[in-house]
Amino acid sequence: MLYAMTDTNNIEDITGDPYLLGLIIYHSEQALLPSELVVALIAAESGGDAYACSYEPLAQTAMQSARPGQCSLDTESVCQKMRWGLMRIPGATARRLGFESWLPQLSVPLVNLEWGVKYLVHLTNQFYKRHGYAGVIAAYHSGNPRKAGAQFVNQIYVDKVLKLMERYKPIVAEKREQALEVLETQVLTPEEADAAIRCDKGICEYLGYTLQDLKAMAAERGIEAAKGWKKANYAEALYSLDLDAVENAH
């Protein structure tokens, strides 16, 4: 199934964060993939927005896969039909690869990159030998590298990602050493990683509400929203108040 790609013009938005770039380089190099391929896919898929997601009602599910015990079948079905996070990995795909936690946790960059790269490795093993990275990119976008004549059916997407790879390659090479140094100094302890995941899960729960609902909740709790606030801004502000309330209770 084809879906829209993000329109990204400023590639510095992604490579300008040395910690994020370090994570991307680490995971891609561990998987023996070009770092610029992962960066280019993130640019095309989410534009570097960790909370990017989309719902595909016709997407296939993997309902036989393991899931959290408190997750209902209806919730699981919806979440499996979502694409999540930086790499917009499909929920059902993550389940097939062995992901057993709540699917909204795929919005956490640490988690998203791990499982998004696993999916990319899976596609590379299937399609690289015959189609090269162009076929891998086509499959990442639509499930398999289908062609109409000499071109992929999603050739526009493939061309965009290939061009982004060319643009990113020298930038990634130039910033690689610095990014990995920053990553090494900011590696989270297991406790810090758990706290980060809980935080992102809390924010994801708020993102399940409509923008109007979030505005109403923010007004009730005395949050002064800045002009142009989006759902992510309201979700982060509301969750920050939740954390303050827990700390004050202790």
Start-to-end CA distance of the chain, whole Å, equals 49
Q: How far are the Cα atoms of 66, 93, 178, 182, 184 from residue 174, in angstroms, in the given order?
A: 42, 33, 9, 14, 18
Closest among 44, 40, 62, 60 to 52, alpha carbons compared: 44
Q: What is the pLDDT of residue 54?
A: 92
Q: What is the pLDDT of residue 3?
A: 34
Range 12-185: architecture per CATH: Orthogonal Bundle (1.10)
Residue ranges of the chain with per-residue pLDDT less than 50: 1-10
Are 175 and 15 in contact by the 8 Å Cβ rule? The answer is: yes
Q: Tens digit of pLDDT for each residue in 69-122?
A: 888 999 999 999 999 999 999 999 999 999 999 999 999 998 999 999 999 999
Which string of DSSP letters, residue by residue, matches 159-214? HHHHHHHHHHHHHHHHHHHHHHHHHHHTPPPHHHHHHHHHHHHHHHHHHTS-HHHH
Q: What is the pLDDT of residue 106?
A: 94
Q: Domain map of the chain by residue range?
A: 12-185, 190-249
Q: What is the pLDDT of residue 8?
A: 44
Q: How far are the Cα atoms of 13, 41, 77, 80, 227 from residue 91, in angstroms, in the given order?
A: 25, 17, 9, 4, 33
